[in-house]
């Protein structure tokens, strides 16, 4: 059911994407870095952030 009220994970995803609207590629990359740092702080669990960094790196190769 559609309910008015609490934001959903879809809402959060949409907000992250929309935050980039109108930004240059450089500014967009800076926004992403800021978001990651802010969210890492919100997580409040450095070990979890380290695990996430490892998981995010998986499948990406050195230039």
Partner 1 sequence: MAGHVRSRLPYAPPPKGRGARAGRVPVAIVGAGPVGLSAAIDLALKGVASVVVDDDDRVSPGSRAFTWARRTIDIFDRLGVGEAIRAKGVTWRTERVFHGARTLAVIDHAPDAGVAAPAFLNLQQYHVEEILLARCADFPDLIDLRFRHRVTAAEQDAAGVTLDVYTEDGRYRLAADWLLACDGARSSVRGMMDLAFEGEAFEDRFLIADIRSPAPFPDERWFWFAPTFHPGQTAMLHRQPDGMVRLDLQLGPDADPERERLPERVAPRVEAALGGRPFDLDWVSVYAFSARRLAQFVHGRIVFAGDSAHVIPPFGSRGANAGVQDVDNLCWKLALVIGGAAGPELLASYDAERGRAADDNLRRAGRSARFMGPRTPAERLFRDEVLALAVDHAFAQRLIDPGRMSTPCALDGLSLQSADDPAMAGPMGPGAPCLDAPVTDPDGRPGWLLPRLGGRFTLLGVGVEPPAVEGAARLTVGEGGLGDPAGLVAARYPRGVYIIRPDQHVAARWAAPAPRAAAHALARARGAIAEVGP
Using N-to-C axis directions, what is the helix angle for 25-43 and 46-57, rounded to 10°?
A: 140
CA angle 31, 26, 51 (to 5 degrees): 50
Judge whether 31 and 20 are in contact, CB under 8 Å. yes
Q: From the list 7, 44, 46, 59, which residue makes contact with partner 1 (rule: CB under 8 A)?
A: 59
- Map residues 19-58 to x or -, x wherever contact with partner 1 holds by CB under 8 A: -xx-x-x--x--------------------------x--x
Binding site for partner 1 (CB under 8 A): 1-4, 9-10, 13-14, 16-17, 20-21, 23, 25, 28, 55, 58-59
């Amino acid at each position: 059911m559609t309910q008015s009220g609490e934001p959903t994970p879809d809402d959060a995803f949409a907000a992250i994407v929309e935050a980039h609207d109108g930004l240059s590629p450089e500014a967009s990359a800076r926004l992403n870095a800021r978001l990651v740092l802010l969210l890492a702080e919100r997580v409040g669990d450095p070990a979890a952030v380290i695990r996430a960094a490892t998981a995010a790196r998986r499948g990406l190769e050195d230039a």
